[in-house]
Amino acid sequence: MNYRRINIFFLSAGVSLLISCTTARKNSISKKFAANPVVAHRGAFKKNGFPENSVASLKEAIRLKCTGSEFDVRMTADDSLIINHDPNFNKLEIEKTTYAELSQYKLPNGEKLPTLREYLLAGIAGNKLTRLVLEIKPSGLGKERGKLIAARSVALVKELNAAPMTVYISFDYDILKKVMEADPGASTQYLNGERSPEQLKADGIAGADYHFSVFKKNPGWIEEAKKYKLILNAWTVNDTEAMDWLLKSGFDFITTNEPELLLKKTASSAK
């Protein structure tokens, strides 16, 4: 029996399996998540008056069975990863303030300023259907710090075994490249809108998550993205006309402040 041949066979089978698993996670339009295109922008905050990016808004998106819930990650002066959209929290510049100082102030619903660890733990608890759409904000203190935020975010996602649930998005291309360096199987989507699907594909980015006006201006990019099997996502879509156009155009995900409206729309169109 030719053992060398058998070994080569098993080795190549293993490599193919590894490649196919990596590809599956990169383009994670998996059946195991909720079968709707609704990504709640900063959680499902609006209808119930929850603060944006609060644990309450994340839990509401999960309760609604949105396919994704988006949130923004920044890093404090003492390297704590926290969830907040703006560069300031209660008039304090996040990147120049410690977590202890920032967390003296609560969110309007009484929640403490969530750390990424707390947010991910809340996001994976009892949740099988809603992706965690993690936006890494570029750092105002330079490119290198932005990449550090990316590397530390990926390390924490891995530590908490949240990688299969997580999609990374950013306006900064180098941040996404850093994410893929730290986790080659990570699913990434680019937000800034100036790169063609062909460019994204060439760089291993899994999806185009652009403002919907970008796709209106470049309608050819929709077919191009489909041709390259990229994920198509648009933000931030709050009116019914744009929702209808994106649904008709076959978008995988639509990021919205009105998840209840879009869920209702997709449920009725599925009948």
Minimal distance, residue 176 CB to Mg ion, in Å: 14
Out of 72, 93, 118, 174, point to the residue binding Mg ion (CB under 5 A).
72
Mark the segment that binds Mg ion (CB under 5 A) among 2-10, 49-57, 129-137, 212-220.
Answer: 129-137
Mark the segment that binds Mg ion (CB under 5 A) among 5-13, 28-36, 69-77, 194-202.
Answer: 69-77
Within the chain, residue ranges assigned H as helices are 3-26, 55-63, 99-102, 116-124, 143-159, 173-182, 197-202, 212-217, 220-227, 240-248, 259-270
Q: How many residues bind Mg ion (CB under 5 A)?
A: 2
- Give the tokens for residue 37: 């295109």
Mark the segment that binds Mg ion (CB under 5 A) among 67-75, 102-110, 120-128, 245-253.
Answer: 67-75
Beta bridge partners of 187: 167
- Give the tokens for residue 270: 């599925």
Mark the segment that binds Mg ion (CB under 5 A) among 68-76, 102-110, 189-197, 260-268.
Answer: 68-76
Mark the segment that binds Mg ion (CB under 5 A) among 30-38, 70-78, 153-161, 224-232.
Answer: 70-78
Minimal distance, residue 135 CB to Mg ion, in Å: 4
Minimal distance, residue 104 CB to Mg ion, in Å: 25
Q: Which is nearer to Mg ion, 60 or 135 (CB)?
A: 135
Minimal distance, residue 53 CB to Mg ion, in Å: 8
Minimal distance, residue 202 CB to Mg ion, in Å: 25
3-state secondary structure 197-232: HHHHHHCCCCEEEEEHHHHHHCCHHHHHHHHCCCEE
The residues near 194 (Cβ < 8 Å, ≥ 6 apart) are none
Minimal distance, residue 73 CB to Mg ion, in Å: 9
| Nearest in space to 121 (alpha carbons), one of 55, 38, 61, 69 | 55
Q: Which is nearer to Mg ion, 135 or 183 (CB)?
A: 135
Question: Rule CB under 5 A: is residue 209 a binding residue for Mg ion?
Answer: no
- Which SS3 state, helix, strand or coil, does residue 124 take? helix
Mark the segment that binds Mg ion (CB under 5 A) among 54-62, 135-143, 145-153, 188-196.
Answer: 135-143
Question: Rule CB under 5 A: is residue 87 a binding residue for Mg ion?
Answer: no
Minimal distance, residue 70 CB to Mg ion, in Å: 5
The residues near 211 (Cβ < 8 Å, ≥ 6 apart) are 193, 234, 235, 236
- Give the tokens for residue 149: 């935020």
DSSP characters over 165-201:
GEEEEES-HHHHHHHHHH-TT-EEEE-S--S-HHHHH
207-211 vs 187-190, strand pairing mode: parallel
- Give the tokens for residue 56: 């309450």
Question: Rule CB under 5 A: is residue 135 a binding residue for Mg ion?
Answer: yes
Q: Which is nearer to Mg ion, 98 or 192 (CB)?
A: 192
- Closest residue to Mg ion, Cβ-based? 135
Q: What end-to-end distance do the CA atoms of the chain give, in Å?
A: 58
Which residues would be at the binding site for Mg ion (CB under 5 A)?
A: 72, 135
